[in-house]
């Protein structure tokens, strides 16, 4: 059953009523539901607002329906923002908020999960994400193993799935994976018994980054729904952008994407985002400006002519920021290229930027995710015991 | 094969379909030795003699065996994926009696000894008839032409760089021009080199969503248009395989009307599935060229019905499990296709208003014409390469039952109609399904 159908049933309204609310014909609605057609941007936006984010664009790309508990995060893994509903996201954010309260009063190591294991399996370099997961797990009293890919069997030619199966046989509770190829965490999740957290896969998703960004926004602005959020930079190659767009749209924000056309992926409009190629137009009336990192290898020639030209037209400085709302805030997932995507002095202005706060919140969000997944893991085991 | 020593076979009560002559009626057929001896109504009204094997076709279709112009047999070099024996068994189970094997083996079929090797292995296997294609350029590098004339004499049926396109326009021009000396057929699977480089699926919203590098459909169209321009200039014969886009069909159609010797083919997955088969990194749906969007799938389907695409080939590309159980970008391209060629294509007849004889034309008479083969037709004194099909038999495709060494089919558990009952090569029964026994 289509997620929208499920929602219709739950709200006990008819398809005709919904079609009327969305201002479309009944046959059009039927085509959406059968998967023959994907709603265009304006209709998608309406669907999201009408259903309070319980139906989102990803529902129109897959026929698979997962078991959604409308009050908490009930999944076995965190593989992406794709397919999550607003209540699931809210429950992850709420718990992170509580954790921050505890942490700021005093740093207590919480021995809740003593003896539990988290494995960091990073196939790509990472400073903040890996450290952040390690810290989060240690605060929960877990044992942490950092797999060194350079020295591990992967270099000896062991296949990815074999490595995962070997790790799985050691019975960890959480496997955190980062990989340069899209879809790798999903491939592993099908093969292992532990919970898998996607810490970034290729150009696909980086869900914990999007969650911590959402948390940062919510703490400063007290809400996400209704905000106008601009995401600027190399969208085409960014997993952070994809996760953020999906999350913010699901939470009811108005998402605007600003990038030169060579760095803009196809199909964003179908996701409910509006696209711009001009910073002045795109930043108008914006509450939050998210700046993405521009990779060095894309600065010469093939995607943009030079870093200089890029900064002139797309780098954020005070002049461009003035096109946004007066109290607009600046975010950046790091690491920063000063003078390429953001003006150096602006990046250091703690009144306007949330950059360091983002890093700090990262630990809390990851603790929240780990807690949820371990709880779900325990509940599942409990269910199996009960069945026996 | 217990019937091996019988010299004659009498097929009675068959629905004889021969696209070459336009025949579609009930009748009988007699083979003698390797050839078709007689075709007609009530050939055996006074009975058959005892030393003739009699097969009662019970009204099922008896037509020429299929000719598959685009297959990868993986031998030599990748025998863990497929070898000539398993490929032959797979072909025969799919009703295919002749096939063209692609030269992208290891080593590449670019020299006479390798052609000889394939021919020797085909003789040993003694199943499906194998016609090797040789590469246009040495080692499929797109730089130096192979010894086309000599390779032709050794038995190369056509010339192609398989899934690779010749990036250098000058080399492609030379290839077409030189091939004309011997009236050779050049086959290309059109895909602009730079535009398709590193791409793993159709470019577009779905690729963006999955975070995968895409291959825009423009890559195919540009290449088709480039090669048509070259053909116009050089003359000669050109065949486009694996056509997947609406615009390519239009361009090829226009060239045909203007008198160029150009033909095209596609594979069943391109008119049956669209890019959404990739779903969430399903590597079985990773094929080259990639599955396109629904409007292109529909265009390919309609082009077959409207006879704007000449041939259906399986583009059989077996891949072992280890080549597919990988992150999507690392997985190999290709699906195993020979055994599903007929059942998947029959949808054109059942749901696409295509006459059965016109559909069979695309896998028998048209490829025979393209390759100048004396098979693919029901004609007295032609080779007795035949297949018997129960077109109404409903069934489910089961990967476990496949004869190919690699069972990477996208059509597992797919409901289909149409079952191959018998396959006959040179008057010898080489496949029979247990069903009719």
Strands B415-425 and B386-396: antiparallel
* Smallest Cα distance from A58 to chain B, Å: 9
Q: How close does chain B come to A37, measured CA to CA in Å? A: 10
Give the dihedral of Cα atoms A335, A340, A344, A348; nearest 10 deg: -40
What is d(CA B297, CA A36) in angstroms, rounded to the nearest whole number?
13
pLDDT above 70 as % of chain B: 97
What's the CA gap between B43 and A202, in Å, rounded?
67
Residue B414 has a pLDDT of 86
DSSP A387: H
Return the closest-CA partner of residue A231 out of A276, A186, A169: A276
Could you read off the pLDDT of B154-205 as tens digits, one per residue? 999 999 999 999 999 999 999 999 999 999 999 999 999 999 999 999 999 8
Chain B residues closer than 8 Å to A183 by CB: 210-212, 280-281, 327-328
Question: Across the interface, do B203 and A266 touch by the CB < 8 Å criterion?
Answer: yes
The reported pTM is: 0.85
CB B286 within 8 A of CB B200: yes
pLDDT at A155: 61
Q: Which of B208, B212, B327 shows the shortest C-beta gap to A179?
A: B327
**List of chain B residues with pLDDT < 70:** 1-6, 47-48, 434-437
What are the pLDDT tens digits along chain A (388 aa)?
A: 677 888 888 888 888 888 888 888 888 888 888 766 778 777 887 888 888 877 877 777 654 444 555 567 888 999 999 888 888 999 999 999 988 887 654 555 667 788 899 999 998 888 789 999 999 999 888 999 998 676 555 666 677 888 888 888 889 999 999 998 999 999 999 889 999 999 999 999 999 999 999 999 999 999 999 999 999 999 998 999 999 999 999 999 999 999 999 999 988 888 889 999 999 999 999 999 999 988 776 666 678 888 889 999 999 999 999 999 999 999 998 888 888 899 999 988 888 888 888 888 999 999 999 999 999 888 887 776 666 5
| A182 vs B325, B326, B329: nearest CB | B329
Distance CA B24, CA A26 (A): 46
CA A164 and chain centroid, separation: 24
Residue from B277, B281, B327, B328 to probe the interface with A (highest A Cβ count within 10 Å): B327
Strand partners, A16: none
pLDDT of res. B3: 47
Closest residue by Cα to residue B95 from B73, B66, B72, B71: B66
Strands (E), chain A: 117-122, 143-147, 174-179, 195-201, 228-232, 254-258, 274-276, 288-291, 329-331
Tokens of B365: 């008479």
Q: What is the pLDDT of residue A33?
A: 80
| Closest-CA residue to B176 (of B191, B159, B192, B195) | B159
Contact A159 B276 (CB under 8 A): no
Please give the pLDDT value at position A16.
Answer: 86
- Contact call for A183 and B209, based on CB within 8 A: no
Rounded to the nearest angstrom, the minimum Cα separation between B208 and chain A is 6
- Rounded distance, CA B393 to CA A187, Å? 37
Residue B390 CB burial class (10 angstroms; 0-12, 13-18, ≥19)? buried
Contact (CB, 8 A) for A167 and A121: yes
Q: Are B40 and B366 in contact (CB under 8 A)?
A: no
Chain B residues with CB under 8 Å of A161 CB are 325
* Token digits of residue A58: 């990803």
Q: What is the predicted pLDDT for the residue at B286?
A: 95
The answer to whether A265 contacts B328, with C-beta atoms less than 8 Å apart, is: no
């Amino acid at each position: 059953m289509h997620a929208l159908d499920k929602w219709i049933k739950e709200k006990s309204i008819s398809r005709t009523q919904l079609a009327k609310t969305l201002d479309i014909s009944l046959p059009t609605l039927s085509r959406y539901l059968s998967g023959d057609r994907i709603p265009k941007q304006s209709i998608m936006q309406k669907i999201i607002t009408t259903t309070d984010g319980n139906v989102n664009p990803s529902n129109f790309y897959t026929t698979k329906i997962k078991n959604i508990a409308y009050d908490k995060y009930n999944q076995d893994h965190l593989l992406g923002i794709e397919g999550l509903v607003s209540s699931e996201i809210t429950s992850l954010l709420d718990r992170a908020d509580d954790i921050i309260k505890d942490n700021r009063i005093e740093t207590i190591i919480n021995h809740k999960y003593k003896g539990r294991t988290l494995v960091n399996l990073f196939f790509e370099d990472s400073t903040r994400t890996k450290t952040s997961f390690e810290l989060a797990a240690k605060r929960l009293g877990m044992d942490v193993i950092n797999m060194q890919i350079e020295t591990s069997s992967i270099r000896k030619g062991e296949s990815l799935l074999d490595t995962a199966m070997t790790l799985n046989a050691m019975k960890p509770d959480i496997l955190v994976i980062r990989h340069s190829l899209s879809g790798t965490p999903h491939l592993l999740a099908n093969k292992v018994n532990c919970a898998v957290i996607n810490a970034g896969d290729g150009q696909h998703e980086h869900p914990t980054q999007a969650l911590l960004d959402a948390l940062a926004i919510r703490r400063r602005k007290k809400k996400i729904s209704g905000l106008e959020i601009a995401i600027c930079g190399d969208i085409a190659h960014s997993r952070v952008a994809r996760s953020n767009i999906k999350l913010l749209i699901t939470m009811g924000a108005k998402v605007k994407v600003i990038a030169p056309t060579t760095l803009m992926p196809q199909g964003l409009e179908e996701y409910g985002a509006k696209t711009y190629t001009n910073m002045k137009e795109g930043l108008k009336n914006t509450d939050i400006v998210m700046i993405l990192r521009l990779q060095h290898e894309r600065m010469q020639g093939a995607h943009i002519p030079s870093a200089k030209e890029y900064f002139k037209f797309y780098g954020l400085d005070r002049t461009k920021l003035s096109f946004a709302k007066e109290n607009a805030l600046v975010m950046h997932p790091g690491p920063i290229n000063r003078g390429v995507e953001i003006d150096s002095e602006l990046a250091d202005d703690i009144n306007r930027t949330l950059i360091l706060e983002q890093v700090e919140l990262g630990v809390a969000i990851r603790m929240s995710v780990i807690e949820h997944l371990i709880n779900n893991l325990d509940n599942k085991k409990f269910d199996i015991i009960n069945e026996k | 094969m217990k019937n091996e020593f019988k010299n004659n076979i009498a097929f009675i009560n068959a629905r004889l379909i021969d696209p070459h002559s336009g025949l579609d009626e009930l009748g009988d057929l007699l083979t003698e030795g390797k050839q078709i001896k007689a075709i007609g109504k009530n050939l055996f009204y006074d009975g058959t003699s005892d030393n003739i094997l009699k097969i009662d076709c019970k009204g099922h279709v008896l037509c020429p065996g299929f000719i598959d112009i685009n297959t990868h047999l993986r031998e030599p070099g990748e025998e863990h994926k497929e070898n000539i024996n398993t490929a032959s068994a797979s072909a025969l189970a799919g009703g295919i009696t002749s096939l063209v094997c692609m030269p992208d083996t290891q080593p590449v079929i670019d020299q006479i000894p390798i052609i000889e090797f394939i021919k020797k292995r085909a003789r040993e296997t003694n199943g499906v008839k194998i016609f090797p294609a040789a590469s246009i350029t040495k080692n499929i590098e797109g730089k130096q032409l192979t010894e086309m004339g000599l390779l032709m004499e050794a038995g190369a049926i056509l010339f192609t760089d398989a899934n690779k396109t010749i990036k250098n326009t000058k080399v492609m021009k030379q290839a077409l021009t030189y091939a004309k000396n011997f009236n050779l057929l050049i086959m290309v699977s059109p895909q602009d080199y730079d535009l398709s480089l590193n791409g793993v699926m159709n470019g577009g919203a779905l690729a963006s969503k999955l975070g995968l590098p895409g291959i825009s459909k423009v890559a195919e169209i540009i290449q088709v248009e480039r090669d048509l321009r070259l053909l116009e200039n050089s003359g000669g014969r050109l065949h486009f395989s694996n056509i997947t886009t609406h615009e390519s069909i239009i361009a090829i159609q226009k060239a045909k009307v203007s008198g160029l010797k150009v033909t095209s083919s596609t594979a069943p997955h391109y008119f049956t599935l669209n890019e959404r088969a990739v779903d969430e990194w399903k590597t079985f749906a990773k094929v080259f060229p990639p599955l396109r969007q629904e409007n292109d799938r529909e265009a390919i389907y309609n082009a077959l019905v409207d006879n704007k695409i000449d041939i259906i080939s399986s583009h059989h590309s077996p891949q072992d499990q280890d080549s597919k159980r990988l992150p999507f970008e690392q997985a190999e391209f290709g699906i195993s296709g020979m055994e599903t060629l007929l059942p998947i294509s029959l949808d054109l007849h059942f749901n696409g208003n295509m006459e059965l004889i016109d559909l069979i034309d695309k896998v028998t008479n048209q490829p025979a014409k393209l390759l100048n083969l004396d098979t693919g037709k029901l004609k007295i004194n032609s080779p007795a390469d035949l297949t018997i099909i129960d077109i109404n038999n409903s069934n489910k495709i089961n990967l476990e039952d496949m004869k190919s060494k690699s069972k990477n089919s996208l059509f597992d558990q797919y409901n289909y109609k149409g079952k191959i009952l018998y396959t006959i090569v040179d008057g010898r029964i080489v496949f029979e399904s247990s069903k009719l026994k």
